[in-house]
Structure 1
Amino acid sequence: MRLLERVAEHQHGAPAKQLARETGLALPTAYHLLRTLVHEGYLRRDKGLFFLGEAAERLGSSGAQQKRRSTVADVLAQWREAIGVPVYYAMYRDGEIEVMCVSDSPGSPAVEEWADFRETGHAHAVGQCLLAQLDEDARRDHLDRHPVRSLTPYTVRDDHTLLRRLERVRRMEPVTERQEYALGTVCAAIPVTVGTTAATIAISLPAHQADQLLPAAQQLQHEISCFLGSLAISISI
């Protein structure tokens, strides 16, 4: 690990003798470890100098991704505590709806995913919010792959009705659904678009607290506006 750290400090590479000296390793030991790291792909050798290899770069990329995930989880937890409701973060990526992170508590549990969120985007606020951010062709492509179907008596009945509803969604306007995905649950989703990435932050409440949904969504919008900078950095979680 010390050898990897020292190599990372030398943008233009470093020879074995210098790395051995900087790490306090005997030269034969340093040579042995360096050969092993090269063999495993963590380092590469070019003209007697050692550089970070693809395996080390993948490791660094994974660490950065974990840090972004941790940042998003922390922010969602803050919003959950501030508003007192479960909070969800989802994206539309590679043609599919992906719920990336959920923050809930025993007193305010998240909605149970009893039907695959990816296949039922027409029925929940998260999916409707993401689909509303897509262009018409992308929406129709999604619905061709994941057709509208009834999950509850309140679910939208057909593609035409859903598409008309999505067209009426205004930019940055909360998308709400009431018991369309799960009986006894109401949800609201706030669109978050960075570049070409469609994303959303959503909340859910028991149906008997439906009168609190819009005030909670408005509070969520305020919280999002305050943290938009850190969210933009983490949007590619």
Structure 2
Amino acid sequence: FHAHAAYLQKMLPEGERVVISGRMEWFNGRPTMVHPDHIAPIDEAEGLPLVEPVYPLTAGLSAKVLRRAIGQALGRLPELPEWQDDAFMRRHTFPSFGDALSRIHHPNVPIDVAVEGSAWRRLAYDELLAGQVSLALVRARIRRLSGRPLVGDDRIVEKLRAALLYRLTPSQEFALGEINADLADPERMLRLLQGDVGSGKTVVALLAMARAVEAGGQAALMAPTEILARQHLA
């Protein structure tokens, strides 16, 4: 709590009743509030926020300073034209972008900051949509760039397959077929091979690399850690 006597006398006048709001903690078996967020007379209690967002802080940055900065940023937010379809907005009960930001940072009721609340869902959807649109733009730009078709003759691929102690699974064969089709296409490939640990991604990558070498190209397998690099080398 603030240590200056003058401050305490001003905020907590002797004999008066006040409303204190903040984080409650337990000390020696008793509830305590070390740093109240709000102190107000009884007649001003209705003006205190019932719900406040909690932000991660760092040394030298207090919650009040951060809230003030966020409030100033929201005050500078311009009126933006709605980029979502009206019918879609009504179907999902989405607020506008500015309203959603305001609810998240200045909530009036708990649902404003709940994951299932309309404000949270609107912002989450916008973030997901922005990511997908960005990827689509990157893909479109890459597709416009000419590539080099890589069509192999299976001489290396078949040797690698014969050296394996197992057959590829249908999923591996499907993924490899998709990759080979992309390699043979004159457009540049933009593909992510995704699978659980131990599902057989590395052998698919190895066979795709062999296809590139058969076509006269070069291939490099990069590993994110030294341990994984040593495993591949072995």
Give the alignment's TM-score, normalised by structure 2.
0.27
Pair member with larger Rg: 2
Higher relative contact order (CA 8 A, sep 6+): 1
More strand by share: 1
